[in-house]
């Protein structure tokens, strides 16, 4: 965020919530065995250090911060894309309200159900649409004072992750510590999600059945969730390209993944940084496809790896990852290593590589 514009990072900090305790500021999560009933809070077996610690924002509030940085005359909201036509030297956008817009290029950030992904790949391409990951999540909120009374300050006000067979549970503070967010993941045994709707009202009986045998505090925590619902988790099969002519996709439109690495939004921000560095090299419209091709060549391998690794993390947390299952020593070793390639990536080196690829292609002309 700082490399794009320090004001973006400032906006993030304005609405971010971190772990409450001073000695937990540099930890992502404390990991616990949620089915170890010898300890009512689940036995803690590992703490994962990271530079920033667990940090989260309410998406709508952060978007408000971002929108405030965009000049009013450049933004038009309330539009839904129907189609896009690449006319070689420009792109025409067709919206569902019957209006059109003409631009030199289009960068699609239209999310996991991206229409522009279908335009780039073709509507019938096997990677054009998201697929069900086999996981779903119960999501709800608990007032922090109630959560602290149940679990104690340490567990309620600092991020925790509980592992178990077939599921895992995250708890962490949001809204500047006023609320505890609860996300309880489970496995759809048949691997299918037949409902066209991805977010549905919660069946509390089904939730408690999913977490039968878990610790007492986990059971009580689930019973206290307010405004609960169920989210089906979808991700994208790897696309063979993120670009076609003067159209390019980034963020979830290009590589939507499951949330198990806490890295999906971060990948979109990395995309934006790389794209901004490339577009500053474009002085003529004919160079736009080369900038998009350089973006695709540099960003696609890393972002698609994140999608697969996020899937693997979900199976790891649910004690279902082949080769690891419920071998706690192997799980701990994986937790120690698996985030490093995400967190310690050299973004400036990546940007230089993207610029090199762009210049290399330009020099061939």
User: Own/partner pairs for 109-113, CB < 8 Å, 24+ apart?
Assistant: 109/249, 109/250, 109/251, 109/252, 109/253, 109/268, 110/81, 110/249, 110/253, 111/251, 111/252, 111/253, 111/256, 112/234, 112/235, 112/236, 112/252, 112/253, 112/256
Phi, psi of 98 (to 5 degrees): 90, -5
> How many residues are recorded in the chain?
365
Q: Are 110 and 103 in contact (CB under 8 A)?
A: no
Active-site residue 139, yes or no?
A: yes
Measured from the Cβ of residue 205, the count of other Cβ atoms closer than 10 Å reads 8
Measured from the Cβ of residue 203, the count of other Cβ atoms closer than 10 Å reads 13
The H or E element spanning position 244 is strand 243-244
The DSSP annotation for 68-130 comes to TTS-GGG---S--EEEEEE-SS-EEEEETTS-EEEES-EEE---TT-HHHHHHH-TT-TTSS-
| Residue of 24, 32, 139, 311 with catalytic role | 139
Annotated catalytic residues are 139
């Amino acid at each position: 965020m700082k490399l794009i514009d320090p004001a973006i990072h400032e906006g993030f900090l304005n609405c971010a919530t971190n772990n409450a305790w001073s000695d937990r500021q540099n930890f992502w999560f404390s990991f616990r065995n949620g089915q170890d009933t010898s300890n009512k809070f689940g036995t803690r077996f590992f703490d994962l250090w990271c530079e920033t610690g667990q940090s989260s924002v309410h998406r709508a509030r952060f978007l408000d911060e971002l929108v405030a940085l965009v000049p009013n005359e450049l933004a038009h909201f309330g539009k839904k894309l129907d189609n896009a036509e690449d006319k070689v030297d420009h792109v025409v956008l067709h919206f569902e309200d019957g209006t059109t817009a003409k631009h030199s290029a289009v960068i699609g950030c239209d999310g996991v159900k991206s229409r522009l992904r279908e335009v780039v790949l073709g509507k019938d391409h096997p990677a054009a649409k998201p697929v069900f990951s086999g996981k779903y999540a119960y999501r709800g909120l608990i007032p922090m004072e109630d959560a602290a009374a149940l679990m104690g300050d340490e567990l309620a006000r600092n991020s925790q992750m509980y592992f178990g067979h077939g599921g895992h549970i995250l708890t962490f503070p949001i809204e500047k510590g006023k609320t505890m967010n609860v996300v309880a993941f489970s496995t759809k045994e048949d691997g299918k999600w037949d409902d066209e709707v991805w977010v549905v009202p919660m069946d509390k009986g089904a939730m408690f059945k999913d977490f039968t045998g878990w610790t007492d505090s986990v059971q009580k925590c689930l019973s206290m969730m307010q405004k609960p619902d169920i989210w089906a988790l979808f991700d994208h099969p790897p696309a063979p390209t993120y670009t076609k002519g003067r159209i390019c996709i980034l963020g979830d439109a290009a590589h939507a993944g499951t949330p198990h690495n806490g890295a999906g939004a971060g990948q979109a921000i990395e995309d934006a940084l790389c794209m901004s560095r490339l577009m500053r090299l474009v002085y003529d419209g004919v160079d736009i496809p080369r900038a998009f091709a350089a973006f695709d060549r540099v960003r696609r391998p890393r972002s698609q790896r994140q999608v697969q690794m996020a899937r693997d993390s979900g199976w790891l947390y649910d004690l279902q990852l082949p080769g690891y299952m419920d071998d706690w020593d192997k799980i701990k070793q994986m937790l120690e290593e698996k985030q490093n390639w995400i967190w310690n990536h050299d973004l400036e080196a990546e940007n230089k590589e993207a610029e090199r690829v762009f210049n290399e292609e330009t020099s061939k002309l």
